[in-house]
């Protein structure tokens, strides 16, 4: 679990100036309440004017930084919080929920998300050679770290390109690489390093996560998945839980329920059909597990979602 240290809640002058500029850029380029992809690929600007609580969803690898406000993320029973003093990195795809804290029309929550492509990390390591990344024991595929002025400076230069669109095609890829480099050189850069190293167990867990995302509707035997990623069943179970906080079967269940919810909401499928489509054979089991995750059975949950649209 990660909490914010009250004694470190004062920004130094450099960080405060950077934070203010980042907040101004997000306000200007995301004038409405939204999470929207910008003109720069994989860069999202986030602006909300109320304390929104999100439902569980599959979050892709990304760097997340707040310019104003704070956010608490839930991974299973664990809680992680970040604010302008702390950035969050997801190194693998994880089912998360969260809440924006203390957001209002007068003081909106403002932030940035930059999706991370593991292939880009691999390419950067191949070109840069040994970078002195420490070989520390790996943990969760999510971490919160102290905001670095050099990292924030690179992110600001990337977002400023929104004011000069003709420069985006040439300069944005270069700055994105610099941002990934700063993350790799950061205190927990080994977590990103591991996902790119084919010999690491974490990399093989990432392969298992990718396989599950592509085949979540299929029956899952842990022995088959372990063979797919060249690990023993016990090692896969242990390392998978260390990275994601859940077993492969629990992870698959969340993927199935999220996809079923999307099918019902967007495609208008009935609950039993959606449950069958994602791999459930028993409608009662589907309804029971859906209620456990979303707090209500499918019909009531969908009515609540549609009323909020």
Does the structure show a pLDDT above 70 at 3?
Answer: no
pLDDT per residue as tens digits for the range 134-167 = 555 557 889 999 999 999 999 999 999 999 999 9
Q: What does the alpha-carbon distance between residue 174 and residue 168 come to, in Å, rounded to a whole number?
A: 10
- Residue 135 has φ and ψ, to the nearest 5°, of -95, 85
User: Are residues 3 and 81 in contact, defined by beta-carbon separation less than 8 angstroms?
Assistant: yes
Paired with 186 in beta bridges are none
Q: Is the pLDDT of residue 227 over 90?
A: yes
State the Cα–Cα distance between residues 277 and 263, nearest whole angstrom. Answer: 9
Place of tokens 């669109």: 165
pLDDT at 189 > cutoff 90: no
* Mean pLDDT in residue range 175-194: 88
293 vs 198, higher pLDDT: 293
Q: Say what percent of the chain tops pLDDT 70.
A: 92
pLDDT class of 130 with cuts at 50, 70, 90: low
Degrees (nearest 5) of the Cα angle 264, 301, 81? 105
The residue whose two tokens read 């396989």 is 211
Please name the fold of domain 6-195.
Jelly Rolls (2.60.120)
* pLDDT attached to residue 151: 95
pTM of the full structure: 0.86
In 3D space, the residue among 256, 211, 251, 253 whose CA is nearest the CA of residue 231 turns out to be 211
What pLDDT sits at residue 8? 45
Look up the CATH architecture of domain 198-309: Orthogonal Bundle (1.10)
Write down the pLDDT at residue 218.
94
pLDDT tens figures, 295-304: 899 999 998 8
Instruction: Show the tokens assigned to 263.
Output: 């099918």
Look at residue 245 in the predicted model and tell me its pLDDT.
92
Of the candidate ranges 28-37, 139-148, 239-248, 285-294, the one whose mean pLDDT is the lowest: 28-37
- Domain ranges within the chain, ordered by starting residue: 6-195, 198-309
* pLDDT above 80 (res 290): yes
Each as own residue / partner, the long-range contacts of residues 212-218 (CB below 8 Å, 24 or more positions apart, any chain) are: 212/248, 212/251, 212/252, 212/255, 213/58, 213/93, 213/255, 216/252, 216/255, 216/256, 216/259, 216/278, 216/279, 217/256, 217/259, 217/277, 217/278, 217/279, 218/279
Distance CA 195, CA 144 (A): 17
Q: What pLDDT does residue 167 have?
A: 97
Q: 3-class secondary structure for the chain? A: CECCCHHHCCCCHHHHHHHHHHHHHHHHHCCCCEEEECCCCCEEEEEECCCCEEEEEEECCEEEEEEECEEEEEECCEEEEEECCEEEEECCCEEEEEEEECCCCCCCEEEEEEECCHHHHHHHHHHHCCCCCCCCCCCCCEEEEECCHHHHHHHHHHHHHHHCHHHHHHHHHHHHHHHHHHHHCCCCCHHHHHHHCCCCHHHHHHHHHHHHHHHCCCCCCHHHHHHHCCCCHHHHHHHHHHHHCCCHHHHHHHHHHHHHHHHHHHHCCCHHHHHHHCCCCCHHHHHHHHHHHHCCCHHHHHHHHHHHC
What integer pLDDT is reported at residue 162 of this predicted model? Answer: 97
Q: Order of strands, edge to edge, in the sheet holding 109-115?
A: 34-37, 43-48, 109-115, 62-68, 86-90, 142-146
Tens digit of each residue's pLDDT (9 = 90 or more) over 99-122: 887 788 888 899 999 999 888 888
> Mean pLDDT over residues 187-191, rounded?
84
Give the pLDDT band of residue 6 (cuts 50, 70, 90).
Answer: very low
Residue range 239-263, pLDDT digits in tens: 999 999 999 999 999 999 999 999 9
223 or 126: which carries more pLDDT confidence?
A: 223
């Amino acid at each position: 679990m990660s909490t914010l240290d009250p004694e470190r809640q004062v920004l130094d002058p450099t960080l405060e100036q950077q934070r203010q500029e980042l907040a101004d850029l997000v306000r200007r380029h995301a004038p409405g309440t939204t999470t929207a992809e910008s003109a720069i690929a994989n860069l999202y600007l986030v602006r909300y004017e109320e304390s929104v609580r999100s439902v569980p969803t599959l979050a892709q690898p990304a760097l997340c930084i707040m310019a104003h406000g704070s956010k608490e993320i839930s991974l299973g029973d664990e809680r992680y919080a970040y604010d302008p003093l702390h950035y969050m990195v997801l190194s693998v795809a994880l089912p998360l929920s969260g809440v924006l804290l203390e957001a209002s029309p007068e003081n909106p929550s403002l932030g940035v998300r930059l999706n991370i492509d593991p292939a880009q990390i691999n390419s950067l390591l191949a070109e840069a050679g040994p970078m002195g990344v420490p070989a520390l024991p790996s943990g969760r595929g999510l971490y919160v770290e102290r905001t670095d002025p050099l990292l924030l400076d690179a992110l600001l230069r990337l977002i400023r390109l929104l004011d000069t669109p003709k420069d985006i095609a040439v300069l944005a890829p270069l700055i994105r690489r610099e941002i990934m480099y700063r993350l790799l050189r950061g205190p927990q850069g080994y977590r990103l390093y591991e996902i790119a190293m084919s010999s690491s167990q974490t990399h093989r867990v990432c392969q298992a996560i990718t396989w599950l995302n592509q085949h979540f509707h299929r029956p899952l035997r842990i022995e088959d998945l372990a063979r797919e990623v060249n690990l023993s069943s016990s090692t896969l179970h242990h390392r998978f839980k260390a990275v994601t906080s859940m077993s492969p079967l629990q992870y698959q269940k969340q993927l199935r329920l999220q996809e079923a919810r999307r099918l019902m909401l967007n495609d208008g499928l009935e609950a039993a059909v959606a449950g069958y489509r994602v791999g459930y054979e028993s409608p009662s089991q589907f309804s029971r597990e859906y209620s456990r995750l979303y707090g209500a059975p499918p019909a009531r949950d969908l009515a609540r979602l549609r009323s909020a649209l």
